[in-house]
Amino acid sequence: MVKTVGTPIDLRKIRVEDLFWKNEMELVRKEVIPYQWNALNDRVEGAEPSFAVRNFKIAADITAKRKALGAGYKEKIWPTDVFSLKPEDPEHPEARFYGFLFQDSDFSKWIEAVGYSLTQHPDPELEKTADGIIDVVCAAQQPNGYLDTYYIINDMSKIFTNLKDHHELYCFGHLTEGAVAYYKATGKDKLLKAAERFADFIDSKLGPEEGKLKGYPGHEIAEMALVRLYEVTGKDRYLKLSSYFIDERGKKPYYFDAEHPDEAKRHGDGERYHYYQAHRPVREQDEAVGHAVRAAYLYSGMADVARLTGDESLKAACERLWDNIVNKKMYITGGIGGTSHGEAFSFEYDLPNDLAYSETCAAIGLVFFAGRMLRMDVDSRYADVMERALYNTVLSGMALDGKSFFYVNPLEVVPEACHKDERKAHVKPVRQKWFGCACCPPNIARTVSSVASYAYSENEDTLFMHLYVGGHVEKSYETADILWNIRQDIMGDGTVKILCEKAEAKGKGEKPQTIAVRIPSWAEGYTVSCGSFRHENKKGYEYITGLFKEGDEITVTFDRKVQILRASSKVSEDHGKVAVSYGPFVYCLEEKDNGKDLHLLRVTADPSKARLKELDIAGNTVTAVILPGKREKAKEESLYSLYSESEYEDAELTFIPYYTWANRGENEMRVWVNR
Amino acid sequence: MVKTVGTPIDLRKIRVEDLFWKNEMELVRKEVIPYQWNALNDRVEGAEPSFAVRNFKIAADITAKRKALGAGYKEKIWPTDVFSLKPEDPEHPEARFYGFLFQDSDFSKWIEAVGYSLTQHPDPELEKTADGIIDVVCAAQQPNGYLDTYYIINDMSKIFTNLKDHHELYCFGHLTEGAVAYYKATGKDKLLKAAERFADFIDSKLGPEEGKLKGYPGHEIAEMALVRLYEVTGKDRYLKLSSYFIDERGKKPYYFDAEHPDEAKRHGDGERYHYYQAHRPVREQDEAVGHAVRAAYLYSGMADVARLTGDESLKAACERLWDNIVNKKMYITGGIGGTSHGEAFSFEYDLPNDLAYSETCAAIGLVFFAGRMLRMDVDSRYADVMERALYNTVLSGMALDGKSFFYVNPLEVVPEACHKDERKAHVKPVRQKWFGCACCPPNIARTVSSVASYAYSENEDTLFMHLYVGGHVEKSYETADILWNIRQDIMGDGTVKILCEKAEAKGKGEKPQTIAVRIPSWAEGYTVSCGSFRHENKKGYEYITGLFKEGDEITVTFDRKVQILRASSKVSEDHGKVAVSYGPFVYCLEEKDNGKDLHLLRVTADPSKARLKELDIAGNTVTAVILPGKREKAKEESLYSLYSESEYEDAELTFIPYYTWANRGENEMRVWVNR
């Protein structure tokens, strides 16, 4: 029987005061959230409009009319068979949906980020803005609870007729996640109630019971969202619906076949549902396939449901899929999705560096998945991957000034190829300001602003520290309320210092308290200094146990060196190459520091030759790694010639953290360097 | 002033009796030509129908009715805005064009191959079949000379309204090339006259004169074809029209803009005409861009016109484009076209091995271009490239049994990737039987069956031998008619033996005769044994001169070793890798001989370690090259781990000629091997 071993700590119990993450969170608060608000309102010059607020306003107006006129109000306003609409010569400008059909989720991700941000930085002005737009969103909700502006505006008679490709359940999921976050931050439940009503409506239309549609989401997220709703409301039906979505998925005959009989006839069998992870029941899946974001969201929901229902076989499926990803389908940067075709996982060990998709949102999905596995099993292997994805691909998704974003995170870039080779049309050599399909920037915002909820989890007698995010953490143990003051300097002196700042005894007995600190895979050794407190290592965590009182201190010091890494020989792309890492950061070469033609550089595989250097990148001081190497001398030669040994000159190679690349203009970059 | 220094010898003056090429030609004669005839008639089980003969028959019927009814016959039968039609639920099955709109060219390439084949192997039965279908084709010709079944069947009022994307002038070009070949082989001029009438009609509609359209072909070939027609008929207007097509191309305002004003508005400027090499006037082009077949056909036509008009600046453009291809854009196999997007040249030095397009037809185009450069300038650098393309990519296009074909010729294949990675959807791990768009198989047929015309050219006092194709060659010099008996064994004892089998003195004076033999770039040395005859090397050819008489013998012996080659360091794809060649053949590793995971193999760069071995491949004995190397031992390791030196075991690597790969079932292959 699967057990919950840890749940995230309420963000209001944490005050992040971290060397590294506070700055990222402030970027989100000061840059991304306001920018995004303007984007939602189509006020960003030069960026594609979002239409999100506009759509909600139009929908609210329609809903009001519909309520006033009852059946007299026409149901169908606009054809619903168009995926992305733009305001070109509209016949009904007042009542037309614009943008991608999942545009509502722009708002939902924003409100979620706002919620998290408010837990750390109260901001009445921002809260007022949020309440205002929540009023609009709620006004758009239909009397029956339905709340997706695409169908409200266009044609309510068509709802739930294209679960495969339209994103109603996706929009529902994001709405719910935003609503839960905002409720938990502010205690205001208006949006949460709207999400509940929408959930109840969905529950009345989809499910195993007779008369209901046997459908499930084409783009997963509702599974996770329903679990959040269950956890905040305690209502079983949400967990049941999530569980239903998970187990119905991929059953034969395929629901998507029934929904799209013409397509089904053309295609033959369910192979094409790989993209949706709906090619077979999830418990029978053992390879991560299809659209990487969808996949990671599904697996996250599966892990949630496995934990809450104690379902061993579902947990086993999660473990198989986890292993498949991290052993065969993940970039060293924690990115997933090797191919732009379907923004999808490629086949096993196919991890091209220059053609990578490695979508920011997919890495975020992997963080979600890891975080949820940790709730069932506090094992550092999950947290190691979570950290890898977060510190590298997720952060790479945002510029150091918080003003531009990567959707795709390649591991090797030659700008000329991005510009001239259509196979690399998806690879941008510099971050973009905003996308029409703006999934990644707000997704980064909600993830970074809630990083502490990935860093910490708890059960009744233990506080788990998965990532090193300094700050004050209130932990209520059975026998004491403790305020931990945690300071990390993992990239400085390599320490995590934990001070018991307050300890108020409570309850009965002498049951000791535990704080469990993850020992990262990148530590080549570590020491725990905790006086007389007991400590032991279990599954990569040091459990430090005792009856703590004010002033007690623990210091964990990681032996942290520059590391030279290799990929499995099965990854032909990385053959003969090495990568450099230091602490949680994967490093890369940039042309800016190393000149053009990075493929001509070779680096030593001896990490003892490394030295560190402070480097300024766009006003930020980062720790660069300097390694000796060689540069092949260019020679005058024809395209093909008799083999002759190349000549090399010594070169000092400057590696910078991967997440800081492309902050100094367009230039070459590579993570995997010739040895 | 550019001068013609050599023209191809009439194929009827050559009797090919070659160790290597005779077999290839016999494959074409016995397998490809009959197979293709069945394909043209839609009689190949399991292959996509060609519809070519069917379309001609329908068109002939329509033409007959049109002639009988005059203006009373309806002009428009079917909409013409569909690129590729299939016989699905046709409303007018009797009068509908099927297949790609360039389907007529299937016939034309076939008749061209038939013509060449008949010069070497008279075959009354085949000739009868050919005459029969020629009657049908000619019956389809409109009274005004127009002859393209797509428009004849569908809508004559729309002819020449889409020169950019419809292929009327392309079909005209192939028809003409086929007609010239058949005429030169058989002396029968029915099809030639039809081609002339079609050319005259085109000439009356397109050209610089007032009232004519200022258009030019979207898919080039008419330029070369008109030159052939000019050379066989002596009519200046064909050369003029070709010249016009070449110089009008890419002029502003763009003809294609005027033809497609809506597209032009959407796109803005002429950049998109790169695909058609129509982005700027050809004399201003210095980078080979766009669809590689189109490009090579255009450049071939340019070389023809430069030679015949003595145009230095056009020749200079040809030289620039040639240099750009061979120095920056050609695979070591002589393949061109680095990207599947537009079947096109990629940017300079971008030569991915696994994603290569390297279309068989594009390599054929490069052979054409090289052959035409040789007519202006007998320089072995042209013939070296011609040989490289022909012996490697062109031959790779056809299976050793002549029964299946490659369209795309990758330099590295992992079958799993072809099956699972949509980026490699164009790369097939085994040859296909036939394609709906069947450009390559008949193109191989016409090229292989006329290989002797690339091997030899002549001017009044010299016979040039560009490629080593043994046989009897009649050469009429000013002072003698000589029958040369040429035997090559370049892959055996490395010799070319030239015997003067007959010499009949004629004319006046004692002007000596010359035979010029190319010294290939792969010869590391050579000797000429020619008794007292004078010999000297000019631009890579040994010119052997004297007054030859019966029994005189010349032997040229090439010092031929296994060679280990490298690519320019600018080709990042090939960095750290080497390729193996022997004689004109580029070699490759196949899984069949070397096991799976070819990326784990490393080969010595020391060619002196090579030994040769006879190997049977699908019933053919080929010379394999064995080189010592190492195989990295597979180890149990996680996807990423701390660097440790790999372990290797000694391995004997077996290389086979590239053109023989994929004749033993589906398996891995690679040309560029880790050093």
Residues of B in contact with A627 (CB under 8 A): none
**CA dist., res. A300 & res. A376, Å (int):** 12
**CA dist., res. A363 & res. A408, Å (int):** 10
Residues of B in contact with A326 (CB under 8 A): 639
Beta-carbon separation of B646 and A569 below 8 A: yes
Q: Which of B347, B417, B638 sits opposite A568 (nearest CB)?
A: B638
Is the model's pLDDT at A107 over the cut of 50? yes
pLDDT digit string (tens) for A406-420? 999 999 999 999 998
pLDDT band at A392 (very low <50, low <70, confident <90, very high): very high
Residues of B in contact with A578 (CB under 8 A): 643
Beta-carbon separation of B566 and A328 below 8 A: no
**CA dist., res. B250 & res. B298, Å (int):** 12
Q: Which of B347, B639, B645 sits opposite A330 (nearest CB)?
A: B639
B600 contacts chain A (CB < 8 A)? yes
Give the CA angle between residues B227, B326, B469 to the nearest 5°: 65
Q: How much is the mean pLDDT over chain A?
A: 93
Q: Which portions of chain B are predicted below pLDDT 70?
A: 70-95, 268-271, 434-437
With CA atoms as reference, the chain B residue closest to A607 would be B643
pLDDT digit string (tens) for B220-278? 999 999 999 999 999 999 999 999 999 999 999 999 999 998 888 777 666 679 999 99
Task: Give the residue from A179, A177, A62 showing the smallest Cα distance to A131.
Answer: A179
**CA dist., res. A411 & res. A356, Å (int):** 7
B24 is catalytic: no
Residues of A in contact with B639 (CB under 8 A): 326-328, 330, 567-568, 571
B416 is catalytic: no
pLDDT digit string (tens) for A435-449? 666 778 889 999 999
Q: What is the pLDDT of residue A509?
A: 84
* Side-chain half-sphere CA neighbours of A461 within 13 A: 12
Is the model's pLDDT at A526 over the cut of 60? yes
| Whole-structure pTM value | 0.93
Count the Cβ atoms, other than its own, within 10 Å of residue B145: 18
**CA dist., res. A471 & res. A499, Å (int):** 10
pLDDT cut 70: percent of chain B above it: 95
In this prediction, the answer to ipTM > 0.90 reads yes
Map tokens 């002038």 to a residue.
B169
Q: Is B45 exposed, middle or buried (0-12, 13-18, 19+ CB in 10 A)?
A: exposed
The token duo for B76 is 């428009």
B501 contacts chain A (CB < 8 A)? no
Beta-carbon separation of B417 and A347 below 8 A: yes
The token duo for A623 is 């720790």
Q: Which of A571, A642, A646 sits opposite B565 (nearest CB)?
A: A642
pLDDT digit string (tens) for A169-222? 999 999 999 999 999 999 999 999 999 999 999 999 999 999 999 999 999 999
Residues of B in contact with A568 (CB under 8 A): 637-641
**CA dist., res. B521 & res. B510, Å (int):** 34
DSSP at B207? S
Residues of A in contact with B675 (CB under 8 A): 643
State the catalytic residue, choosing from B112, B223, B343, B412. B343
**CB interface of B with A, residues 420-459, below 8 Å:** 420-423
DSSP at A96? -
With CA atoms as reference, the chain B residue closest to A425 would be B341
State the catalytic residue, choosing from A24, A196, A223, A343. A343
**CB interface of B with A, residues 334-373, below 8 Å:** 339-342, 346-347, 350, 355
Q: Reduced to 3 states, what is the DSSP secondary structure of residue B673?
A: strand
According to DSSP, the residues that pair with A536 across neighbouring strands are A543
Can you give the length of chain B in residues? 675
Q: Reduced to 3 states, what is the DSSP secondary structure of residue A320?
A: helix
Residues of B in contact with A417 (CB under 8 A): 347, 350
B16 contacts chain A (CB < 8 A)? no
According to DSSP, the residues that pair with B613 across neighbouring strands are B624
Beta-carbon separation of A346 and B642 below 8 A: no
In order, the DSSP letters of A525-551 are EEEEE-TT-EEEEETTEEEEEE---TT
Alpha helix positions (H), B260-377: 261-267, 292-309, 312-328, 360-376
Domains within chain A, CATH numbers bracketed: 23-453 (1.50.10), 459-560 (2.60.420), 563-674 (no CATH)
Is the model's pLDDT at A79 over the cut of 70? no
Beta-carbon separation of B639 and A327 below 8 A: yes
Angle between helices A236-248 and A222-233 (to 10 degrees): 160
Q: Which of B339, B568, B675 sits opposite A639 (nearest CB)?
A: B568
Q: What is the pLDDT of residue B263?
A: 82
Beta-carbon separation of B640 and A567 below 8 A: yes
The token duo for B389 is 């393309």
Give the CA angle between residues B606, B611, B617 to the nearest 5°: 125
B608 contacts chain A (CB < 8 A)? no
With CA atoms as reference, the chain B residue closest to A672 would be B640
In order, the DSSP letters of A473-512 are EEEE-SSEEEEEEEEEETTTT-EEEEEEEEEEE-SSS---
Count the Cβ atoms, other than its own, within 10 Å of residue A526: 18
CA torsion, ordered B308, B310, B314, B318, to nearest 10 deg = 70
Q: Which of A417, A420, A640 sits opposite B332 (nearest CB)?
A: A640
**CA dist., res. A490 & res. A518, Å (int):** 12
With CA atoms as reference, the chain A residue closest to B342 would be A422
Q: Is B485 exposed, middle or buried (0-12, 13-18, 19+ CB in 10 A)?
A: middle
With CA atoms as reference, the chain B residue closest to A586 would be B640
**CA dist., res. B408 & res. B397, Å (int):** 8
Residues of B in contact with A426 (CB under 8 A): none
β-strands B585-590, B648-657: how paired? antiparallel
State the catalytic residue, choosing from B138, B171, B361, B439. B439
The token duo for A289 is 């396939």
Q: What is the pLDDT of residue B11?
A: 96
Q: Which of B327, B640, B668, B673 is the best residue to mutate to test the A interface, defined by the most A CB atoms within 10 Å of its own CB? A: B640
Q: What is the pLDDT of residue B495?
A: 97
Q: Which of B330, B422, B642 sits opposite A565 (nearest CB)?
A: B642
B159 contacts chain A (CB < 8 A)? no
Residues of A in contact with B423 (CB under 8 A): 339-341, 355, 423
In angstroms, the separation between the Cα of residue A674 and the nearest Cα of chain B is 9
Buried residues in A197-218 as b, exposed as e (16+ CB within 10 A): bbbbbbbebbbeeeeeeebbbb
Residues of A in contact with B566 (CB under 8 A): 640-644
With CA atoms as reference, the chain B residue closest to A271 would be B420
In angstroms, the separation between the Cα of residue B345 and the nearest Cα of chain A is 10
In angstroms, the separation between the Cα of residue B265 and the nearest Cα of chain A is 16
